Every structure is written in structure tokens, then in C-alpha cells.
Homo-oligomer: A and B are copies of this chain.
């Protein structure tokens, strides 16, 4: 297929490479030029605007930071819809609010373009080795047609979640659970340390039971080593939690836990931790704990 890939950041660049490796004709566009030149050097075709990229493609894949960027790239001046032929499929793999996905899909439909929202979980390493997990919403036949040749060229799994927006709704659920599981481990391990018990021993004692989780396996060691090299950055997780809160308020499903954890992440960000891995949330609890101890003295 002829696939235009727009948004060649940390995630997008390796995803475009995997599509190229799978044999697709790739047209690439990015706001800043170096990433485009790099991939053009590898045999992909450079485009000078989203419209130009879309005009040459059967499928457009977008991988952008958030809803405003997707809206601009799709419906803005020289955007995808300015160049699209009817029948084009847009696969937006950005993590955005479900409502924004539905609005953008409606703009696409007016031009005869079918949109899937297909956010992923898994960070840069999984983007590189094509083992991301895709959660997709939109037309089921379109999903079925693109699943193997397009989505599974970048991902290990691709699950169909429902109509447009459902992919991002599933992604928000994912991000809420990950954030809360990190907060839980951070709060519990800080209590253990403050109680004079080695948190590494606690992890070992509880990992096999009901407290076991992928977060405990992947993030507790980072907390214990005090190594917060991302991974997934607090700034990005905050963006997802803001989308979750906005969505929740629209559909009438308050998120008290997410709201509290958002404020915790904001505290760590305010202390300069926005670019740290989200496991650095433990700094919030450590700061509370040491301050309390100091006050008692």
C-alpha cells in the first residue's frame, strides 16, 4: 500500500520504519525537517505538507502529541483533507480525547475519508521492535482490512474496541489504571521504608499475590534504584489524564482517583520532574514522608 506517515517523533519514526520494512511505499511528513530527511535517505518519499502526503497515499497514519495537533494536521490549511481523495483511510494513532476523535472523524466523513482512532500502549522500545498494543475504534470492515498489513506491521496486538473514539476510550482506561497502580506502589513502598522495612523485600513478599502487577514488576525496581530515565514521561501521562478528566466530565463519570493522582503528578512536575519517567511519582510520597518526619523532630 501507499502509506503517508505524519508525525515522526520518538514513536512515529520507528513506526514508519516498520511499515517500510513490511514492504509499503512510504510518504513521510513532519513539521521539523531532519526526521523527514533521515527517512528519505532510507528510501521513503519526503512530502512538504500533510496535503501533499495524503494526495499520494491510500492510507494516512498520524502520530501526534494531542488533539489540537491532530485537528490542525487533518483539517488545517494544507492538511490531510485538503489533499485527500475520497476513499482515503486515516488511521490516527495519537492518544487524544475520544470526543476529539469523533469530531475529527466527522470532518473526515464529509470528504469521503474514513477514520480509525488507533492509539497504542507501549513506549519507544516497543515502537522499535513492532510490539506495540493497538486499541482501535471506527468502521469494523476498515479495521479488519488494515489490521494485518498495517497495524500488525507496527504492533503485536490490535484489538477492535467499537465505533470511532472507542480506541481512545480504552487508552484512557489504560492510562488511569497505570497511573493509579504506580501511585499505589509508590505510597505503599514509601510507608514500608518509613516503617524501617526494606521495600525490596516487601516487593518480593507481595509480588506473587493479589498485589502483583506489571507496574510492580516494571516500575518498583526503578523506584528502588531511584532511576527515572523514561520510559514514559510524566508530562505525557499528565496530558492523557487531562484528556481522561475532560472526557469523564462530558460523559458524566467523575474520576476522583484520577483527579487526585493528577495533582500528585503536577507536584512532581512543579519540582522539575516533568521529563522523568512516571515512576518518579514516588518523589511526591517521599517528600511528604520526610517532611512529616522532620516536623516531628
Contacts and interface: CB of A to CB of B under 8 A. Distances in A.
A234 interface: no
A179 to B, nearest CB: 8
Contacts of A247: 191, 195
Given A210-B214, A210-B218, A252-B289, A169 B197 contact: yes
Contacts of A40: none
A162 interface: yes
Contact of A205 (B133, B244, B260, B295): B133
A10 interface: no
Interface magnitude class on chain A: 35 or more
Given A210-B214, A211-B121, A214-B211, A161 B255 contact: no
B162 A208 contact: no
Contact of A161 (B183, B193, B202): B202
A209 to B, nearest CB: 4
A201 interface: yes
A136 to B, nearest CB: 9
A177 B183 CA distance: 9
Contacts of A292: 252-254
A173 to B, nearest CB: 4
A173 B293 contact: no
Contacts of A194: 248, 251-253
B211 A254 contact: no
Interface of A: 98, 121-122, 133, 135, 137, 157, 159-163, 165-166, 169-170, 172-174, 176-181, 183-185, 187-199, 201-202, 204-206, 208-216, 218, 232, 244, 247-248, 251-258, 260-261, 264, 285, 288-289, 292-293, 295-296
7 contacts: A166-B197, A181-B213, A194-B248, A212-B213, A257-B257, A257-B260, A260-B260
